[in-house]
Chain A
Amino acid sequence: MSRAPAVDRQLGRLAWVDDRLGRFALFLPGLLFVVVLVGIPLGILLVVSFLTDASYSIEPIPTLANYLGLIGDGVFPIVLWRTVLTAVVVTAACLAIGFPIALVLARTTPRRRALGTLILMVPLWTNLLVKIYSWKAILGVKGVLNYGLQAAGVTSEPVDLFLYNTPAVAIALVSALLPFMVLPILTALERVPPSLLEAATDLGSSPRRVFWTVTAPLARRGVLAGVTFVLVMAIGDIVASEVLGGPSGILVGRVIFGQFGPSDNWPRGAAMGWVLIATMTGMLLVVARLARLGTMERVSITGADPRLEG
């Protein structure tokens, strides 16, 4: 009151500047992180993919050979196709098994639902490598499955068909990724107001029609989140392929991984990496497109990861 308006204005300005500085200072660490540790490394990887590989070193000569070579290569396209197919099959299986789990949990009493959710959440956080390893102990020639089959008299000799192939990789991935499918669907189902189901019944729909016209469409967002996450995890898999795949179960991630030893072809590996990212992005776009068909709800692919999304 007693201060001159000019002084007041000055003080206000100072406070404003101070506030802006504070905000910026808060922003800085994150910005630095994004630029230095995410942006630059990915940039390097992009640049490397266009450089020439000389044995034991990388020549700074721009080239498209790393990408073009992948097409001409007899193996890479096959491995990429196998990877896409495996990811799709794993995702479809997770959806086919995960939706019923979510449905059963959504229909049960709150107490059982909480317990079921807990049972699903615990494996979500356990080490992937160890879970995959465990499948080796189940599917191997000396594994638990073979022991069981012999003990039951189904086979007399151990069967070596279970391990070191793509189906083994797929089974282990389904087992490990299933919770990621169930939890977002369950969340979506829990949010369907009971009155909507009653309204559908009231308007003459049989239980089956209620499911297909109301329950399933309203779970769409959860399905999308689950599908996105499982797809991303499956398509980038290295561990399952390495441990359970054998030569016939090689997936792209494992091939890329193999390119980055000290004596290997880094530019080629980088190019493979970007092809993998492009493939993944393309598949996610298709999924998002499918999810948007014929609905009034806007659906976005954010919220993919049930471990992350708020």
Chain B
Amino acid sequence: MTLGGRLGGVLTRTVALVGFVLIYAPFVVIVVLSFNDSPAATLPFKGFSLRWYERLLGNDAIIAAFGNTLLVGAIATIVSTTLGTVIALSLRRARFPGRSLYEFVLSLPFLLPEVIVGVATLSFLLLAGIRLSLGTIILAHILVTLVVAERTVAVRLAQIPASLEEASRDLGRSPIQTFFLITLPNLRSALIAAALLVFTVSFDQTIITFLVAGTDQTLPTYVWAQVRRGFTPELNVVAAIFLIASSLLGLAIAWTLRGTGSPLKTGGGRP
């Protein structure tokens, strides 16, 4: 017996297929176009070519933007994962009034529309007299990604039975020793997952980055600036590289989360 039996089986499958096509159409189109040996940046397909990829290597602006993206992502990943772990640890088994409010505010930068987070942060930076730079981009990315790291670690943390650490204390280890000998090793996969997630979310930021960036550009803000002018073969290549790179990251995330306390697969939980 299957879920719901044969309920419009064919119709269901057809709709599902349409859905998958809808999800993947942009991927297929842009990757195909990026290899198209045509200056028109569209169909017909005039033969396989890597020339747009080659030309990309000569574009200093893109190379610089790409470097910035990696730098911002790397620093945001390190800071967010660390800070997120600290917050997850501080909230573990903690009961205090306003806890849910605290967690709610913590998740706001990730959940609120990005334009609001962007302009709020921008207002704050300007009022505080902080000059817009790569540093402010990093700060904004930490802001957005922190809760991602915190939730990922918290989920895993909740699965480590308290008795494990109690046993360590019972056997004469100090709280700090216990943390490094017992807690941290058990968090390993969650930390890797958190780092990957943070990096990917950082990789995805366009609007917020654009708002708090000074003259520096990241890959998304570069694309953002170009996209408004139309589509070009070069842009197709950037987009294709973007999609392929983030797909690989996505695969890595899915792989890391597989079998661990995946925040994706354990969604919901008891109310």
Contacts of B59 in A (CB 8 A): none
**Contact between chains at A303 and B250 (CB < 8 Å):** no
Among the interface residues B18, B83, B90, which one has the most CB atoms of the partner chain A within 10 A?
A: B90
Among the interface residues B7, B235, B251, B267, which one has the most CB atoms of the partner chain A within 10 A?
A: B267
User: Is B67 part of the binding interface, using a Cβ–Cβ cutoff of 8 Å?
Assistant: no
The answer to whether residues A269 and B114 also contact, given A30-B106, A184-B267, A239-B207 and a CB cut-off of 8 A, is no
Which one of B49-57, B70-78, B181-189, B198-206 is at the interface? B198-206
CA distance A171 to B26 in the complex (A): 11
**Contact between chains at A37 and B143 (CB < 8 Å):** yes
Contacts of A137 in B (CB 8 A): 29-30, 33, 41-42, 231, 236
**Contact between chains at A175 and B22 (CB < 8 Å):** yes
User: Is A133 part of the binding interface, using a Cβ–Cβ cutoff of 8 Å?
Assistant: yes
Contacts of B22 in A (CB 8 A): 97, 171, 174-175, 178
A: interface residue count bin: 35 or more
The answer to whether residues A260 and B5 also contact, given A104-B12, A125-B246, A127-B220 and a CB cut-off of 8 A, is no
Interface residue count on the B side (C-beta < 8 Å): 104
**Contact between chains at B239 and A253 (CB < 8 Å):** no
**Contact between chains at A175 and B266 (CB < 8 Å):** no
In-complex Cβ contact of A127 among B116, B175, B204 (8 A): B204
**Contact between chains at A44 and B251 (CB < 8 Å):** no
**Chain A: CB-nearest residue to B148:** A308
Contacts of A144 in B (CB 8 A): 29, 33, 42-43
User: Is B64 part of the binding interface, using a Cβ–Cβ cutoff of 8 Å?
Assistant: no
**Contact between chains at A253 and B267 (CB < 8 Å):** no
Among the interface residues A31, A37, A41, A118, which one has the most CB atoms of the partner chain B within 10 A?
A: A41
CA distance A193 to B76 in the complex (A): 41
User: Is A299 part of the binding interface, using a Cβ–Cβ cutoff of 8 Å?
Assistant: yes
User: Is A81 part of the binding interface, using a Cβ–Cβ cutoff of 8 Å?
Assistant: no
CA distance A118 to B255 in the complex (A): 9
**Contact between chains at A125 and B5 (CB < 8 Å):** no
User: Is B19 part of the binding interface, using a Cβ–Cβ cutoff of 8 Å?
Assistant: yes
User: Is A160 part of the binding interface, using a Cβ–Cβ cutoff of 8 Å?
Assistant: no
Contacts of B122 in A (CB 8 A): 260
**Chain A: CB-nearest residue to B152:** A310
**Chain A: CB-nearest residue to B265:** A187
Chain B, residues 191-226, CB within 8 Å of chain A (1/0): the string is 000000100110110110001000000001001100
CA distance A201 to B3 in the complex (A): 11
Closest Cβ of chain A: how far from B211's Cβ, in Å? 7
**Contact between chains at B271 and A298 (CB < 8 Å):** yes
User: Is A249 part of the binding interface, using a Cβ–Cβ cutoff of 8 Å?
Assistant: no
**Chain A: CB-nearest residue to B104:** A302
**Contact between chains at B228 and A243 (CB < 8 Å):** yes
Q: Which residues of B contact A (CB under 8 A)?
A: 1-7, 11-13, 15-16, 18-20, 22-27, 29-30, 33, 40-44, 83, 86-87, 89-91, 94, 102, 105-116, 118-124, 127, 139, 143, 146-148, 151-152, 154-155, 158, 175, 197, 200-201, 203-204, 206-207, 211, 220, 223-224, 227-228, 231, 235-236, 238-239, 242-243, 246-247, 249-251, 253-254, 261, 263-269, 271
Can you pick out 13 interface pairs between chain A and chain B where the beta carbons lie within 8 Å of each other? Answer: A30-B83, A30-B87, A96-B15, A97-B16, A121-B254, A130-B238, A133-B239, A137-B42, A138-B25, A236-B112, A236-B116, A304-B111, A310-B269
